[in-house]
A = this chain, B = another copy of it.
Amino acid sequence: MKRSKADTAETRRRIVHVAAQEFRQKGIHQTGVAEIMASAGLTHGAFYRHFESKDQLVAEATAEGMDVVVDNAETAAETSDSAYYTHLKSFLSREYHEDALKSCPLVTLGSELARADTETRRAASQGFLELIDIISKQDGRRDTKAVKDDALFRLSAMIGAVTMARIVDDTALSDRILREARKRLAMPPTPLPSMKKIAAKNAKKVAAKTAAPKARLARQA
């Protein structure tokens, strides 16, 4: 039977929302249309009243997933600097990406997105760029190329760290990967003055330890 326009729109939204969760949980190709429709409380036949194909749903679900990640980051960034870095710390945790409502598609669907169609990759790219903007702005500097470049590296590194933490079969190793990423990325790119002193001390220590490789490289050059 026909439904009201409001109901129809709400149903469509619900399908996209449920799909976004299930794709991130089980992967795009391991999640069937019928399964998603059942989770949305419908039979699979109604699917094509809302979408042209599964691919279209994949694109919209990816966009929705990225929007959630972007919104969460934006909210944290707008709250306070410490809220932002706390958010980054929680993003760099396994639990965050096991939460179907939060997890970042770039992490949970990474290699599948690289093979997805144009619309899906566009959605993923746009979300990525929005995150880059938030990171760049948070750094509080002018929108120079160098600041963007830095954000590009930092975000890619975060995605790689969580991806690896999820692949690895040893919980201790997984935690260690994330801890190292948090140490390096869940803080301002340029350390505070007080931290600079500590960093300088560490640099001396490291320099002493790296005398050998430096000498090797010098010989080679």
Contacts and interface: CB of A to CB of B under 8 A. Distances in A.
A157 B193 CA distance: 26
Contact of A149 (B108, B115, B176): B176
A101 interface: no
A33 to B, nearest CB: 15
B153 A180 contact: yes
A156 B149 contact: no
A113 interface: yes
A95 interface: no
Contacts of A190: 203, 206-207, 210, 213-214
Interface in A194-215: 203, 206-207, 209-210, 212-214
A30 B27 contact: no
B128 A164 contact: yes
Interface of A: 26-27, 29-30, 80-82, 106-115, 118, 121-122, 124-125, 128-129, 138-142, 144, 146, 149-150, 152-153, 155-161, 163-164, 166-170, 173, 176-177, 180-181, 184, 188-190, 192-193, 203, 206-207, 209-210, 212-214, 216-218, 220-221
